């Protein structure tokens, strides 16, 4: 039985006049609605309204404060936001409810607050065929125009799984029988030696703070990426790329 799906688990909200116009111009995207701050006028606003009308997308007026709340950004929304349907986004709990079709390989993001890293990970994971990327609502950079830009637009189509926190996701996944692996420089076992089995979760933590305590206590095994040339570690997005394509290599071999 699936839970009632929150709008936050169905839509990616873009904000700012140019990003909203770009979303309306992309006919591969389904825009649910556009929200414009009350009293906002001008040529660009008229262009947005016309673009929305061309696609039969409803335009709603709301207070400037409401637009800021919906956008989740008080400085760069420019009084305009739009909800874009993310077809592959769903709650993690729903993805795990149907065991026969549950994701096999999952990335869990924990404490990644740099939009560029989150965007690049979404792009790499999607390109390599990872079944699900858990992007918690708290503690991780929101899927906003910065993340979308870093992902080159893939964020709209990525198999994103939503949870409240990374700790909640770790609990759900371990209870569903998934072992959790964490990338850790210097771990004795590396990603090329380990048999991940048919289902596994790979946790990507903050480069500065590491994993949250709630996630760390559920890690089954830390794994390293072998390094040469005196390099100790990789940027988290680069490490994710190495991991994701090792998983893909195994799938294809």
- Percent of all residues in the chain with a pLDDT value above 90, rounded to a whole number: 84
- 52 within some domain: yes
- 31 within some domain: yes
Q: Out of 47, 62, 85, pick the residue that ends a domain.
A: 85
Residues 29-67: pLDDT tens digits?
999 999 999 999 999 999 999 999 999 999 999 999 999
- 1 within some domain: no
Query: What is the separation of C-alpha 188 from the centre of its chain, rounded to a whole number of angstroms?
Result: 30
Average pLDDT over the chain reads: 93
Tell me which residue range forms the domain holding 45: 7-85
pLDDT at 159: 97
20 and 125 part of one domain: no
167 and 210 part of one domain: yes
Which residue's entry shows tokens 């503690």?
139
Residues 163-186: pLDDT tens digits?
999 999 999 999 999 999 999 988
Residues 136-159: pLDDT tens digits?
999 999 999 999 999 999 999 999
The number of folded domains in the chain is: 2
pLDDT at 239: 96
Q: Out of 33, 55, 85, pick the residue that ends a domain.
A: 85
């Amino acid at each position: 039985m699936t839970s009632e799906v929150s709008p936050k688990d169905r839509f990616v909200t873009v904000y700012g006049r140019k990003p909203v116009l770009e979303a309306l111009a992309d006919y591969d995207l389904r825009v649910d609605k556009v929200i414009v701050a009350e009293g906002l006028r001008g040529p660009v606003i008229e262009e947005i309204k016309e673009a929305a009308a061309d696609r039969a997308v409803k335009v709603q007026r709301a207070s400037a404060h409401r637009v800021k709340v919906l956008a989740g950004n008080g400085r760069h929304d420019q009084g305009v936001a739009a909800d874009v349907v993310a077809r592959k986004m769903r709650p993690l709990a729903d993805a795990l409810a149907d065991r026969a079709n549950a994701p096999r390989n999952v990335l869990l993001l924990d404490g990644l607050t740099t939009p560029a890293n989150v965007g690049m990970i979404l792009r790499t994971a999607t390109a390599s065929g990872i079944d699900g990327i858990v992007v918690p609502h708290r503690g991780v950079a929101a899927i906003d125009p910065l993340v979308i830009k870093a992902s080159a637009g893939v964020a709209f189509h990525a198999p994103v799984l939503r949870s409240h926190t990374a700790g909640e996701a770790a609990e759900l996944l371990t209870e569903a029988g998934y072992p959790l692996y964490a990338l850790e420089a210097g771990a004795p076992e590396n990603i090329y030696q380990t048999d991940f089995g048919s289902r596994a979760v790979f946790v990507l933590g903050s480069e500065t703070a590491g994993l949250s305590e709630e996630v760390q206590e559920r890690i089954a095994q830390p794994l390293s990426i072998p390094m040469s040339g005196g390099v100790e570690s990789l940027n988290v997005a680069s490490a994710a790329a190495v991991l994701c394509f090792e998983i893909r290599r195994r799938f294809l071999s």
